[in-house]
Structure formats: C-alpha cells, structure tokens
A and B are shown apart, each in its own frame.
Chain A
C-alpha cells in the first residue's frame, strides 16, 4: 500500500500545502510518493525529494503540464494510479479542480476536504459548512482524497532524501488551453472567500464613517469588508456586504467585528471564523460571547489606532 501526493508547486518551489498533504498521506499508507507534474520543474522536483517522509518523487515534465490544466494533470495521475492505494491532493482550488477527474476516471468515490485519517479506508470530513463532522468509509480499492491542509501538521521540508524518477509527460488533451493569468489581485477579495474580513455595524453611524473608518483597516489587512444587517438597513453599507443569516455565510481565518452587537442572525453568518475579534464600547454586547479576543473600546478610537500601529 502506497500513497501518491500530487504536489502543489509553481515549478520552482514546492508550495506549503503539499507539506500538510504529505502528513495526511503518511497516515493513510506507509510509503509516500510525490508526483511533481510541471514544465521545467526540476527545482520543484528536487525540493520535493527533501521532504521528510517522502521516499520517491516522480517528475513528469512537459509543456502540457505548464499551467496545471485539469484535463492534462489528471491524465498524468491516471498513468500512475494503478500503483497506489491512496491518491491525495491538497484541498486548494487546484487540487479540487483535478482530483474528481481522477476519481471518476478510476470509477471510484472521492472523499473531499478530509480533516482526519481514522484508518486506511476511514476518514473524517466536515459537512454543512462545518456544522457537522462525518466519518466515512470507502469501499473502493483506490481512495482519492482532497486534504484540508489546516487539519494536518506540515511535514519538514528538509531531511528527506528521496530518489527522483523521471517519467514522460502526457500528451496535450486538446480539450482546453490556457490563455492568461492574473495573480495578486489589486481588488478587494470576495467576501465569502476572503482570509480576513473587517466588518462594521450600526455603531459606525453613517455611510461616510463606515467607509472612512473601515477601509484603511481592510487595506492594511488585505481584507474584504462586511456589514451587519443593522448597518445595511440603516443605509451605511450595500446589501452585498451583509454577513449573516440572510446575507453571506463566511468562515475566514480572521473576522474583525467593529461596532457590531452580535445579533443571532449575524453570528450565524460568521461563527465559523477561525479567530473572531470584537471591538465594541458596550461590554454587554453579545458579540463578546463568541469573540476570541474582545476589546471594549470606542471603535472610532481603536480602529484608527490599529491602522496606525506598525
């Protein structure tokens, strides 16, 4: 039994998500191999060979693999799939894009976003946006998995000494071609996908204040801006910024609630944030009952001070 990890890389480096996926792979099956499928990706393959716990790197190199197109990468994986009991991808946009193609082609089920490996055929995963955790058992001979990287530690990136085996890159599928990429967006991240959200409530007092006070903090943190229902109703923020039961459900790494009281309907929209910060001058505000860090202070003082602090 061996696990194959499909590396997340940019041809020059191995990306961090891969290290967490390796940890999960080691828990699935003793021998961990990594596939680096890229173009001029020698450096990435070499880096992969140093990851602790990896005993073999398979390096497929060709133009067809230059842009990570799902149609081509999936074919590359399928060429090797017969040797493995477990095939793992990081649950990143790329991993989620490719993994199901592999699973369907092998006529096996996929287990998405696993948070724990219970045994070789049994995994835990979140459902209903994390409101429940399911333990599922696979009856297929090959298990295709995507791994929630925050649920597993990172394998050490140095210490390993795996052999690197070169294989032929698959031919271009001809189904799809890459046109262009626009990375490092200058616009604000989408509210539902943002890693950080700065959110404002009725206490901001006006649309002008809402923008003037929150925008600098959002800029500083690279954050999306959200609003409570009360702020939207009062006209301080547009409808599509509303976080909450009748707005958007978000689960960022960091949620900063400024002048938000914490009505049930709002909490329903952000309770799954990893870290919640509340800034409110009312010590009784319900938001403090869910906040990891609560600052009882006037937001008109605290937020600008935060922005100014290096």
Chain B
C-alpha cells in the first residue's frame, strides 16, 4: 500500500511550487502526479510577466512575496544551478482619460501603501524608458522598477528539481481517474498507475480542474479560454532594458514585452475564446486578427506599423468568473486543498501560492489570508473583480 503525507495533482508551475514548499516545511513523504510532463500543460505557454501591480489588493501581497523569490531563485531553492530566466526591466502601465484612470490611480496608491516602490512618470520620463512608444494620450503613467519577466517552464522545473532533492517523488504520465473519499474525507487517488493513499490531496490542475467537480460534486467554476500571442519584428528593437508595458488605453488592453532581438511579444489582456473542452493545443490564428492587433500596436508604437509577424501561438487560461483563483481548503471535503483559476496571472504568483497552499495543507498558519479566495465568494457575491474590467490585470 502506497501511502503519502500529501499528494499533489498537477506538476505545472503552481503544483511544483506547492510540492517544493511542502518539503521545505518538513513534509517527508510527498507524491506529485502529472498527466504528462512537468510544466507541459499551460505553464509552458506563459508570457512570463512578473509585476506586483493589481487592482485587487489581496493579490499585491502574494505578488510581492513571489517577486522576492524570483529575484533570488537560486538562493531560495538552495540550488546554484537554478535559474528563473529573470529579466528585471520594470513594468510600465498607462491609462488615458476615461474609465480606467481612477482604478489605475487607486491601484498604484494601493501598491505604495504596501511599501512597493511606484513612480508616477511624466511623458518624457516614460519615453526615456520606452523610446519606441508615445504617451501623448496618457493621463497617468505608473512605473514599478521591481518587475519584469521570466521563464515559467524553467521555474516549474526548478521547483520540481528542488522538490526531488528534498525527497519529493514526482511521477509523470500518470492520469488521476478518481479522488477516493470516505464519509466526506479524502483518503487517496485512483490513477492509471495504481492507487495512492493520503488524507491530504492538493489539486493544482489548471484548465483540467473541472475534474474536481466530476469527482466530488463540488462546483468548480473554471473554464478554458484561449488567447493569442504574437511576436512582431520591428524596424526598431524592443530591448531587454525596456520595461514590460501595459496599455490600458488600447481597446484590447494590450500587454507587451521584449522577445529578444528586435522582437516584441504582445497579447490582448481581455476575454479570449472559450473552449468547450480543456485543451492546450495550438489554435488557429486568422490573419484578420493579426491585422487587428497590429493596428492597436501601431497606435502606440508608430514604427511597428511596418512590423513583420515573426511567429504566433496560443496559450490557454483557466478563468473564473472574477478572474482570480480559488485557493485553500474545500468545504465539504476534508483534506482537499485546491489552487485553480489563475486566469492568466498564475505564474507571477506561483512562489507565494505554493507557500500558502503548502501551509494550508500542513495545517500551518498561512502567510496571506486565503479567506478572500474561497469558493464561497461566488455565492456570497464577494467577488474579487478587477477594476479594469474582465482581464488578467485583476
């Protein structure tokens, strides 16, 4: 009989962070199960943006704690070979006159109140940081230097390797078929490679979190939404020194960053294409859509009006009704802890989320209160809705 102190379902960036932290907090016998390979689900499709800017204040603290891990990943893991692939180029966000202006100001002030350095820039200063863009329409420009982007796959495998070094067992290519329960308590999982017992199961299954509802009847309000990302090659370079940029003035609330060389990675920060069935395979990208995004990019980055389409791909988000995750223990199923619904901003929270879910699973006090993230909020109406409208800057 294979019995474990805790079983984690899903070895993406969240699951591998949970597994690492379980071991770090002293759990001796941890098992992680993944249907495919570590990080090969949606983590590998992440654009990798890291920032602490959120209009939902609860996320700011999780993001801030996570940032401190990203900036010293190797030391945090005690593994000098580990790398998060971090580019610390800062995060620039602007809004024109209109509906997004006040929410932006409030969010920036909220960050400041939490001791995070945020600068309010004038157009000239913004242009110095990002000379390929114009800010003629900007009514407010915020900049946080402690931000940038990193590599989600490297981070997931980094956490996984460190977890293994601390005794965690990770099995790949294993499909969990059923959650085994006994009178409202978790007792283990049944999988394609046998049955494993534990009274603690942590599900970090992203777009496949709907399994929880199938297994327990407990609602899992998450759906798979596919988003398109473009790499545009400009006549001018978007260098690693230039900040990640969030354009609240564009119709699609675009975010963009350097993709290396003269290339810009850009994507819309609004609602995507809902998939009937969870699936992270590449989707079609119509030329008309490319032209549409291209127009939005050209509005802000004049020279990119002539940009070439270097490559394009799709990534899938696990989206909840308020674009924020469900975290913590599950009422009605003792021993089940969940972390799903990151809605496109999970990577930047992965170290912090891994910590709190591990703490919750081990019965420890959590660094950040999980109450706001409870599933019940969808019935009580205490949604964590972002102030910019639906989208991943929530």
Task: Please tell me whether chains A and B touch each other in their complex, using a CB distance cut-off of 8 A.
Answer: yes
Q: Which residues of A contact B (CB under 8 A)?
A: 202, 230, 233, 239, 246, 261, 263-265, 282, 284, 286, 289
**Cα–Cα distance between A132 and B165 once the two chains are bound (Å):** 38
Flag whether B204 is at the interface (Cβ < 8 A): no
Q: Which residues between 256 and 313 of chain B lie within 8 Å of chain A, taking CB atoms? A: 260-261, 311, 313
A286 near B37 (CB under 8 angstroms)? Answer: yes
Min CB distance B348 to A, Å, is 20
Min CB distance B47 to A, Å, is 14
A264 near B39 (CB under 8 angstroms)? Answer: yes
B164 near A263 (CB under 8 angstroms)? Answer: no
Flag whether B153 is at the interface (Cβ < 8 A): yes
Interfacial chain B residues near A265, Cβ < 8 Å: 44, 153
Flag whether B157 is at the interface (Cβ < 8 A): yes
Q: Which residues of B contact A (CB under 8 A)?
A: 37-40, 44, 81, 83, 85, 151, 153-154, 157, 160-161, 164, 172, 260-261, 311, 313
A sample of 8 inter-chain contacts (CB < 8 A) reads A230-B151, A246-B311, A263-B44, A264-B153, A282-B81, A284-B161, A286-B37, A289-B172
Known A-B contacts A233-B260, A246-B311, A282-B81; the reply to A264 vs B40 at CB < 8 A is: yes
Partner of A286, one of B81, B83, B157, B260: B157
Total A-B contacts with CB atoms under 8 angstroms apart: 31
Min CB distance B300 to A, Å, is 25
Min CB distance A101 to B, Å, is 36
Interfacial chain A residues near B81, Cβ < 8 Å: 282
Min CB distance A204 to B, Å, is 14
Q: Closest 10 interchain pairs by CB?
A: A264-B40, A284-B161, A263-B153, A233-B260, A284-B164, A264-B44, A264-B37, A246-B311, A286-B37, A282-B81
Interfacial chain B residues near A202, Cβ < 8 Å: 83
**Cα–Cα distance between A263 and B40 once the two chains are bound (Å):** 9
Determine which residue in A230, A239, A261, A286 has the highest number of CB atoms from chain B within 10 A of its CB, and name it: A286
**Cα–Cα distance between A282 and B157 once the two chains are bound (Å):** 12
B161 near A282 (CB under 8 angstroms)? Answer: yes
Min CB distance B171 to A, Å, is 12
Nearest neighbor of B36 in chain A, beta-carbon distance: A264
Min CB distance A265 to B, Å, is 7
Nearest neighbor of A246 in chain B, beta-carbon distance: B311
Interfacial chain A residues near B313, Cβ < 8 Å: 246
Nearest neighbor of B165 in chain A, beta-carbon distance: A284
Interfacial chain A residues near B151, Cβ < 8 Å: 230
B157 near A261 (CB under 8 angstroms)? Answer: yes
Interfacial chain A residues near B260, Cβ < 8 Å: 233
Min CB distance A205 to B, Å, is 12
Interfacial chain A residues near B83, Cβ < 8 Å: 202
Nearest neighbor of B81 in chain A, beta-carbon distance: A282
Interfacial chain B residues near A289, Cβ < 8 Å: 37, 172
Determine which residue in B39, B153, B160, B172 has the highest number of CB atoms from chain A within 10 A of its CB, and name it: B153
- A sample of 18 more A-B contacts (CB under 8 A), given A263-B157, A282-B161, is A202-B83, A230-B85, A230-B154, A233-B85, A246-B311, A246-B313, A263-B39, A263-B153, A264-B37, A264-B39, A264-B40, A265-B44, A265-B153, A284-B164, A286-B37, A286-B38, A286-B157, A289-B172
